[in-house]
Chains A and B, each alone.
Chain A
Amino acid sequence: MNEDKIINALLELSEMAAVSGGEEAAVAAAARYLKTYVSDIKRDCFGNLLAFKPGENATGRPALTIALVAHADEIGAMVTKIEPGGFLRFTPIGGLDPRTLPGQPVTVHGKKKFPGVIGAAPPHLLTKKERGETTPMEKLFIDIGMDQEQAADKVKVGDIISLEQHPVALKNGKMMTGKSLDNRAGIAVLIACAAGLSRLYHSVDVVFIASLQEEVGLRGAITAAYGLNPDLAVAIDVTHGDAPELEEGRFFKLGKGPVVAKGPNLHPALVDRLEKTAGKYFLPVQREPIPDHSGTDAWAFQVAREGIPTALLSIPLRYMHTAVEMINLDDLFNCVKVLGYFIGGLNRTFLEDMKKC
């Protein structure tokens, strides 16, 4: 899979709607891309997608299994009420910032997909006081161009709402912007990694997992980790990219490589091996100190069953949880390379050595 194909896959994945609890589109697309490179694909009871790529193992001993997990879901909202006039009220699914919403186009997933927009008061009619306040989520509404009767026929309370955004590459060719790059970028890494590993010797069994409901509390990762019980796991997600309004140390430069997390959530031997692998192959990586909860699937994997040594590799991303998220594609490609060489270099001895330290 060359870089253009990876970019096209990511464009397709970013455009589709897969809000937590309604991830089918993204999971189906992930399965379609992965199936060329894996021996088996299954869905667990919860709905997580698992794609199996066995290693070449002539030792006769059971192979080591490593899980690469990326969440398929994205933030969005849910219809709570149909107002007189046909306007929809909504409640967020995942961390949605009300300050980013006025004037935001959305798709309402009712009987069909209906385009809509989150209303914004015209400046002509605003008072100075109103301009100085954030409009809270419960006062925002969606206009789908229908009266109450039509809206009630086409849309039900509980229907899912996704942000609408067509992803694009920016002028310098390295940057991409769109919605839900958190975490379709991670899904694209899984796909590219599966493709890459089909041309690279690896003795360990690799399982690619597209997990559900991460944005509402790592739900899918809990059942996937239990069900698979891998020897090792690496979560692939996004972390905060550089922006002038952020505090020093809370963000990572776009284009300076994927980010290896370090802290109680992450197994030190895995962190060390990832960083050393990057160093050995002259691949750029950055390091993110995380003193407690990483807020990613790694948190759920670490404490599954008897415990799973887990690492976290992130792609720096600007303006997280908005319709204008931005990444540098080089970080994505380097993430794939680091993972590929890391997996290529793993064998059972690694696990045994790890237990010693």
Chain B
Amino acid sequence: MLSELADIQGVSGDEAKVRRFISEKLAGRGIETSVDTMGNFIARKNRGKLATPPMLSAHMDEVGLMITSIRQGGLLNFQTVGGIDSRVLVAKRVKIGREGLRGVIGAKPIHLQKKEEQEKPYKQESLYIDAGFNSREEAEKYISTGDYAVFDVSCIKMGNGFYRGKAFDDRAGCLVLLELLLENSDLCFNAAFTVQEEVGTRGAMVTAYTLQPQKALVVEATASADTPETEKEMSSTILGKGPAISLMDKTILVDRKMRDELADCAVRAGIPFQFRRFTGAGTEGGAIAYSREGVKTAVIAVPCRYIHSPHCVLKESDLQATVSLARAWLENNQ
């Protein structure tokens, strides 16, 4: 199911296809679902059992591109939606618009580059998408400004228990929530599949207000740099060591009691876990924590290499351990 979820096009503001997939998976399972005006999808499992059910949150959107103008010759200018290092865009293929038309982000042939050019990365403004159109008129038949584009990538299994694909941030989190909703249990909780996390955690502000939880757990995918060229202490998280529990990030100082509760849950159930050894970058944690009069909020995440690039890598065992930890936490809050 990770492959199916990850392959869907769903850049911030254009999450409809992801929402439809989740909605179809949950149909006929006796789970109450609703969609709000922003497009957030809310699923309430075993509604009525608890007065204030705990909330789980994962975002449906992914980073991507938006077509901003069409050049005279038919090439497409774009801007990034969410944080993408422009160095990963070069020489990659994308799918554009609802129909998923193919286009490429080209690169100057190495044969014609000067030495000083080679040392400097491309500036994002100098890049463009080439979808093979010969004129603006031809391009306009198929493409409008404001259309979204995503990396043209299919998720696959790789090596020994790893997955390679786009948008694991945060389809991995969506998968965790879906598994907990679909499994046969009498756990009572509200699951929010949110929109627009990558452009400022917009969706979660609304869902947290709507659901009025007392406690919330954000399920994310977080950067891992357990790779060469990075000092070990700078890796933030390590693949295979289980979900990463956040201490703080740019948006939130995680409630100490909740943090300890999560660690206790993991220890008791024998679930591997690690702390996220990095305090930058934002999550929905902040948006939820400061909702209404405040919500006790924590963040756990599946460690993920090369996040916000065309091909992220995660380990299946981490995904399963994240499901286990979220479940153990829910059990503790019934």
Contact = CB atoms under 8 A, between A and B. Distances in A.
A87 interface: yes
A211 interface: no
Contacts of A171: 101-102, 131-133, 142
A135 B86 CA distance: 13
Given A117-B313, A150-B159, A165 B93 contact: yes
Interface string B129-142: 01111100010001
A238 B49 CA distance: 68
Contact of B164 (A96, A115, A295): A115
A98 B122 CA distance: 12
B160 interface: yes
Given A121-B85, A124-B280, A115 B158 contact: yes
Contacts of A246: 108, 112
B106 A133 contact: no
Interface stretch (B3-11, B54-62, B175-183, B224-232): B224-232
Q: Which of B71, B229, B234 has the most CB of A within 10 A?
A: B229
Contacts of B101: 170-171
Interface residues of B, number: 69
B126 A120 contact: no
Contacts of A245: 108, 126
Contacts of A319: 91, 104, 106-107, 109, 130
Interface residues on A, range: 35 or more
Given A115-B164, A123-B84, A145-B159, A324 B106 contact: yes
B1 to A, nearest CB: 19
Interface in B53-86: 71, 73, 75, 83-85
Given A99-B87, A125-B236, A324-B92, A87 B228 contact: yes
Contact of A103 (B110, B133, B159, B310): B310
Given A143-B227, A170-B131, A172-B138, A150 B160 contact: yes
Given A134-B118, A319-B104, A174 B109 contact: no
A47 to B, nearest CB: 26
8 contacts: A100-B91, A103-B88, A144-B159, A171-B102, A172-B132, A244-B73, A324-B105, A326-B132
Given A119-B228, A326-B130, 16 more contacts: A97-B107, A103-B88, A115-B156, A115-B164, A116-B158, A119-B306, A122-B306, A123-B85, A125-B236, A134-B120, A134-B121, A147-B160, A170-B101, A170-B131, A177-B132, A324-B107
Interface of B: 71, 73, 75, 83-85, 87-88, 90-93, 101-113, 118-122, 126, 128, 130-134, 138, 142, 153, 156, 158-162, 164, 223-230, 234, 236, 278, 280-281, 305-311, 313, 315
